[in-house]
Structure 1
Amino acid sequence: MDLYTLLKIAHVVGATVLLGTGAGIAFFMLMAHRARDPALIAHTARIVVLADTVFTASAVIMQPITGAALAHLAGYPLFSGWIGLSLVLYVVTGLCWLPVVWIQIRLRDLALQAVATRAPLPERYFRLFRWWFVLGFPAFAAVLSIVCLMVLKPAF
């Protein structure tokens, strides 16, 4: 296998990880939230924070590296056309994802505190969850759009 093929495999796997963990994390956090059980929310949020740290963060780092290398090897200009649009969407994703990670940590901590004190979830938990939910839509839509751009490679 040549370098281009290896980079392409790594890039596609990274995109799959971003899309898959994004969808999985959203599903599990939403299901835990709907149960309104602080212990379940705390447990789920612990796993979600770990998954974001291990899988999502690794893919976030590798995607621009493998993408830039692929663009260079294929002779595509990096900051124009579909690649330029992908980079803009990648920044949008990051601007949504970074607060979401912080919110997930806070949701976990608030749920752990509710468990420790045998109290209901505080109103702050619900406010933060609404922000988490809202920020997830543009982030997921941007990642999905990037995958479509990678596959379709439209001419602009």
Structure 2
Amino acid sequence: MDLYTLVKVAHVIGATVLLGTGAGIAFFMLMAHRTRDPALVAQTARVVVLADTVFTASAVILQPITGASLAHLAGYRLLSGWIGLSLALYVVTGLCWLPVVWIQVRLRDLAIQAAATDTPLPERYFRLFRLWFVLGFPAFAAVLGIVWLMVAKPSF
């Protein structure tokens, strides 16, 4: 296997991890949230924060490295055409994801506190969850756009 193919496989795996982890986290958090059970939300949020730390953060770090390596190996200019648009969408994703990570930690902590005191989830939890939910849409749409650009490689 040549270097280009090896880096491309790593890049595709990273994209798959970002897309899959994002979709999985959203699904499991939404399902736990719908129960309004502080203990279930707390446990789910613990796993979500861990998954974001282990999987998403790792892929977020590796994607630009493997992407830049692929562009260099293939002779593409990094900031032009579909690669430039992919990078812009990557920034959009990051601008949504960073607050989402902080929100997930807060949601986890609020749910842990509610479960420990045997009280319902507080109003602050619901306000933060709504923001978390809203930020997920542009982030997920941007990731889908990046995947499409990677596959289609349109010429602009």
Alignment of 1:32-71 (within 5 A): 32-71=32-71
Q: How far apart are residue 45 of structure 1 and its match?
A: 0.2
The alpha carbon displacement at 1:70 in A equals 0.2
CA distance in 2, matches of 1:102, 1:150: 29
Describe the superposition over 1:55-113 as per-residue Cα deviations: whole angstroms up to 9, x where unpaired: 00000000000000000000001001000000000000000000000000000000000
Aligned-pair distance for 1:147? 0.2
Read off the aligned partner of 1:117 and give its amino acid letter: T
- The one-letter amino acid of 1:45's match is A
> SS in structure 2 opposite 1:91?
helix
Task: For 2:96, give the aligned amino acid.
Answer: C
Spell out the pairing of 1:80-95 with structure 2 (5 A cutoff). Answer: 80-95=80-95
- Give me the whole-angstrom Cα distance separating, in 1, the residues matched to 2:41 and 2:122: 13
- Runs (4+) off by over 6 Å: none
- The 5 Å alignment of 1:5-154 reads 5-154=5-154
Alpha-carbon separation, structure 2, partners of 1:124 and 1:41: 14
What secondary structure sits across from 2:154 in the alignment? coil
Q: What TM-score do the two structures reach when normalised by structure 1? A: 1.00
Q: How far is 1:13 from its partner?
A: 0.2
Please tell me the residue identity of whatever aligns with 1:110. Answer: L
Distance 1:16 1:23 in 2: 10
Is the partner of 1:141 in helix, strand or coil? helix
Q: TM-score, length-normalised on structure 2? A: 1.00
RMSD, aligned α-carbons = 0.3
- How much does 1:22 deviate? 0.3
- The one-letter amino acid of 1:42's match is A
Structure 2: 5+ residue runs without aligned partners?
none
User: 1:43 deviation in Å?
Assistant: 0.2
